[in-house]
């Protein structure tokens, strides 16, 4: 693999060499250890200067705080240094390819950050009078318009706060629609390969969950699904493209069968990036689909959120969507339809009584994500978004075909993959697993792929390169994957103890779960300095 690292820079010493060259601080040059704020800060220090409080007679109802809170403070330079040091212990898209399958870790354009921070969006209150926030409401309405057009659906619920919250929104729409028909159906069908959020959401909304098997090709078993449909089935939750990275060819047939049996079709849109601009879910008979703005539309993942999960809805489900929502009338005014106005507005404009299932969150959704997503969508336009899907699929297929000779690709025979390529641990040396490949990739300077998901494949490795990787970046990644796979197949013992060069070696997750330490506590005794 020589030549991949053309600079010849060697990132760090091996463990054996390190033991020979201890440092006083425990640091390794740019690899800096950082203590907790509780160990370096104190309650008397503050990094903020405030005006003195005016002298008044307090009106705290006799509940003034008397106990110490225990919050350490740091000066501003110490604060900047603390968090900068911490940041350097993270892998991120800004550092390199981040092939986490089903998570769509694409480049986050900084224009989006800039527009989201414009005072007219970032510094407005959700309950300001509507005439003072027309621009902000227009952003929500414009994004809603784009999402409807891109999906070919009838309406969209903008308030859900993340993908799983969007799932909940769609499932509540289904439940409300059934109730409006006077029906009680108690079961939601979910394929085995589904994201864990799908069954969890259905259960959270009070449904029983039943699994549908997959075919040997990695797709939903249409025959088994049809056999299970009946008057107790409220609907199905299907991911398309699915978590094996395959397009569900029978999607329209599935939808037709579910509809014929009186149910509704929920689509998990986590993988929409593969088909945006190429296929409209509305043309596949889908009734509800959430869109992770933090995946397809590039809002940053932020180390685990915030996300945003608008849900596009069919004509059958749209009337049941949540409040509040925006609507532009012929006079150009964008209205925010809240509880106070909803009944009158819907009667006037839709000629029907209000059927919304209610409110899902305190305010109007993730405005900060809406501005970012809309800036991204406008930057790409209809032509660019189509190119996004094509490049995402091209990159994934390139990875699939470049690795299928060294790693088992269980569905490689099922046709082209979509935006992600799936491999199994079949063929690794005795005692070597997917986890070892993942940790070996860390030493190669990559975030590992999604591992052990989907559950339908043993030791699954799900690689989603996304469209924002160049061919050169893919070639280097493929080289690294091949090298690590070769070590796992040859049984290289050094791979078992990888990573060697990360800020930490493998962490003891069993200990963390067995004796949970979730908050910092002052040590009982100060140990003597060695």
Partner 1 sequence: MRYLPLTQPERHAMLAAIGAATIDDLFADVPAEARLEGPIAGLPMHASEIAVERHFSGLARKNMAASDHPFFLGAGAYKHHIPASVDHLIQRGEFLTAYTPYQPEIAQGTLQMLFEFQTQVARLFGCDVANASMYDGSTACWEAISMAGRITKRNKAILSSGLHPHYVSVARTMARFTGDILQTGIPQLAATTDSAQILAAIDGETSCVVIQYPDILGRIEDLSVIAAKAHEHGALLIAVVTEPVALGAIKSPGEMGADIVVGEGQSLGVGLQFGGPYVGLFACKEKYLRQMPGRLCGQTVDAEGKRGFVLTLSTREQHIRREKATSNICTNSGLCALAFSIHLTLLGEKGLRDLAMLNHGMAVQAAERLAQIPGVGLINDSFFNEFTIELNKNAREIIHQLAARGVLGGVSLGRLYPGEAALENGLLIAVTEVVTAQDIEALAVNLQELMA
Distances (CA, A) of 435 to 54, 90, 120, 486: 59, 19, 47, 14
Task: Indicate whether 335 belongs to the interface with partner 1 (CB under 8 A).
Answer: no
Q: Which is nearer to partner 1, 205 or 429 (CB)?
A: 205
Indicate which single residue of 238, 364, 437, 460 sits in contact with partner 1 (rule: CB under 8 A).
364
Burial label for 22, CB within 10 Å (0-12, 13-18, 19+), is: exposed
Task: Indicate whether 185 belongs to the interface with partner 1 (CB under 8 A).
Answer: no
Task: Indicate whether 234 belongs to the interface with partner 1 (CB under 8 A).
Answer: no
Check: CB of residue 235 under 8 Å from CB of residue 265: yes
From residue 464 to residue 503, the character string flagging contacts with partner 1 as x (rule: CB under 8 A) and all else as - is ---xxxxx-x-----------------------x-x--xx
Task: Indicate whether 278 belongs to the interface with partner 1 (CB under 8 A).
Answer: yes
Task: Indicate whether 431 belongs to the interface with partner 1 (CB under 8 A).
Answer: no
Indicate which single residue of 56, 330, 526, 528 sits in contact with partner 1 (rule: CB under 8 A).
56
Task: Indicate whether 53 belongs to the interface with partner 1 (CB under 8 A).
Answer: yes
Task: Indicate whether 433 belongs to the interface with partner 1 (CB under 8 A).
Answer: no
Task: Indicate whether 509 belongs to the interface with partner 1 (CB under 8 A).
Answer: yes
Strand partners, 28: 31
- Which residue bears the tokens 């690294």? 480
Indicate which single residue of 193, 314, 318, 371 sits in contact with partner 1 (rule: CB under 8 A).
371
From residue 398 to residue 427, the character string flagging contacts with partner 1 as x (rule: CB under 8 A) and all else as - is x--xx------------xx-x---------
- Subset of residues 440 to 469 that bind partner 1, contact rule: CB under 8 A: 442, 447-448, 453, 467-469
Task: Indicate whether 305 belongs to the interface with partner 1 (CB under 8 A).
Answer: yes
Closest distance between partner 1 and the C-beta of residue 262, in Å?
A: 19
What does DSSP assign to residue 467?
Answer: T
Strand partners, 191: 212
Burial label for 65, CB within 10 Å (0-12, 13-18, 19+), is: exposed
Closest distance between partner 1 and the C-beta of residue 36, in Å?
A: 6
Task: Indicate whether 526 belongs to the interface with partner 1 (CB under 8 A).
Answer: no
SS3 call for 448: coil
Task: Indicate whether 290 belongs to the interface with partner 1 (CB under 8 A).
Answer: no
Q: With CB under 8 A, what is the number of residues at the site for partner 1? A: 206
- Which residue bears the tokens 């300095």? 529
∠ CA(510), CA(515), CA(520), 5° rounding?
A: 115
Closest distance between partner 1 and the C-beta of residue 99, in Å?
A: 11
Contacts of 404 (CB under 8 A, 6+ apart): 412
Q: Which is nearer to partner 1, 382 or 486 (CB)?
A: 382
In 138-275, beta strands by DSSP E: 155-157, 187-191, 208-212, 233-239, 264-268
Distances (CA, A) of 275 to 70, 151, 417, 493: 51, 10, 12, 41
Closest distance between partner 1 and the C-beta of residue 263, in Å?
A: 17
d(CA 264, CA 316): 9
- Subset of residues 73 to 102 that bind partner 1, contact rule: CB under 8 A: 73-74, 76, 79-80, 82-84, 86-95, 98, 100
Task: Indicate whether 215 belongs to the interface with partner 1 (CB under 8 A).
Answer: no
Task: Indicate whether 257 belongs to the interface with partner 1 (CB under 8 A).
Answer: no
Q: Which is nearer to partner 1, 330 or 518 (CB)?
A: 518
d(CA 286, CA 258): 10
Q: Interface with partner 1 by CB under 8 A: which range of 40-48, 310-318, 422-430, 485-493?
A: 40-48
- Subset of residues 98 to 137 that bind partner 1, contact rule: CB under 8 A: 98, 100, 103, 105-109, 111, 113-115, 117-129, 131-136
Indicate which single residue of 30, 51, 330, 528 sits in contact with partner 1 (rule: CB under 8 A).
51
d(CA 169, CA 163): 10
- Subset of residues 17 to 36 that bind partner 1, contact rule: CB under 8 A: 34, 36
Q: Interface with partner 1 by CB under 8 A: which range of 280-288, 405-413, 420-428, 485-493?
A: 280-288
Q: Interface with partner 1 by CB under 8 A: which range of 4-12, 49-57, 224-232, 423-431?
A: 49-57
Which is it for strands 311-313 and 421-423: parallel, antiparallel or unpaired?
unpaired
Task: Indicate whether 193 belongs to the interface with partner 1 (CB under 8 A).
Answer: no
Ramachandran region, residue 182 (left: φ > 0; alpha: ψ -120 to 50; beta: rest): left
Check: CB of residue 237 under 8 Å from CB of residue 231: no
Distances (CA, A) of 28 to 22, 24, 84, 396: 9, 10, 16, 36
């Amino acid at each position: 693999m020589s030549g991949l690292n053309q600079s010849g820079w060697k990132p760090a010493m091996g463990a054996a060499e390190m033991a020979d060259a201890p440092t006083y601080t425990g640091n390794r040059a740019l690899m800096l250890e950082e203590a907790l704020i509780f160990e370096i800060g104190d309650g008397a220090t503050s990094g903020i200067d405030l005006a003195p409080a005016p002298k008044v007679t307090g009106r705290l109802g006799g509940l003034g705080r008397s106990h110490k809170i225990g919050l350490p403070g740091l000066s501003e330079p110490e604060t900047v240094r603390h968090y900068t040091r911490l940041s350097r212990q993270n892998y991120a898209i800004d550092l390199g390819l981040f092939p986490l399958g089903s998570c769509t870790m694409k480049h986050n354009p900084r224009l989006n950050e800039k527009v989201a921070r414009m005072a007219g969006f970032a510094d407005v209150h959700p309950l300001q009078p509507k005439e003072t926030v027309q621009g902000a409401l227009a952003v929500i309405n414009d994004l809603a318009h784009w999402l409807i057009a891109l999906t070919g659906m009838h309406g969209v619920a903008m308030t859900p706060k993340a993908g799983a919250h969007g799932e909940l929104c769609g499932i509540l729409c289904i439940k409300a629609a059934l109730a409006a028909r006077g029906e009680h159906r108690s079961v939601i069908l979910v394929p085995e390969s589904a994201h864990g959020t799908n069954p969890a959401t259905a259960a959270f909304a009070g449904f029983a969950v039943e699994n549908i098997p997959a075919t040997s090709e990695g797709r939903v078993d249409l025959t088994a699904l049809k056999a299970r449909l009946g008057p107790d089935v409220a609907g199905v939750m299907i991911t398309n493209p699915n978590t094996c990275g395959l397009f569900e060819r029978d999607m329209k047939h599935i939808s037709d069968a579910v509809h014929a049996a009186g149910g509704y079709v929920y689509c998990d849109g986590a993988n929409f990036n593969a088909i945006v601009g190429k296929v409209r879910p509305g043309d596949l008979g889908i009734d509800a689909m959430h869109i992770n703005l933090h995946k397809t539309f590039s809002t940053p993942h932020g180390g685990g959120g915030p996300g945003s999960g608008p849900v596009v809805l069919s004509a059958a489900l749209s009337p049941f969507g949540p409040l509040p929502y925006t609507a532009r009338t012929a006079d150009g005014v964008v209205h925010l339809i809240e509880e106070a106005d909803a009944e009158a507005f819907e009667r006037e404009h839709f000629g029907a009584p209000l059927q919304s299932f209610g409110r899902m969150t305190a305010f109007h959704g993730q405005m900060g994500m809406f501005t970012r997503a809309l800036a991204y969508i406008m930057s790409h336009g209809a032509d660019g978004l189509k190119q996004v899907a094509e490049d995402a699929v091209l990159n994934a297929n390139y990875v699939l075909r470049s690795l299928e000779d060294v790693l088992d690709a269980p569905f490689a025979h099922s046709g082209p993959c979509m935006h992600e390529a799936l491999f199994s641990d079949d063929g690794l040396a005795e005692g070597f697993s997917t986890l070892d490949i993942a940790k070996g990739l860390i030493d190669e300077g990559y975030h590992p792929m999604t591992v052990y998901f989907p559950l339908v494949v043993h030791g699954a490795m799900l690689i989603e390169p996304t469209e924002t990787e160049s061919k050169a970046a893919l070639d280097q990644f493929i080289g690294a994957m091949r090298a690590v796979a070769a070590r796992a197949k040859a049984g290289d013992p050094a791979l078992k103890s990888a990573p060697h060069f990360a800020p930490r070696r493998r962490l003891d997750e069993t200990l963390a779960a067995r004796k949970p330490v979730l908050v910092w506590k002052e040590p009982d005794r100060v140990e003597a300095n060695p």
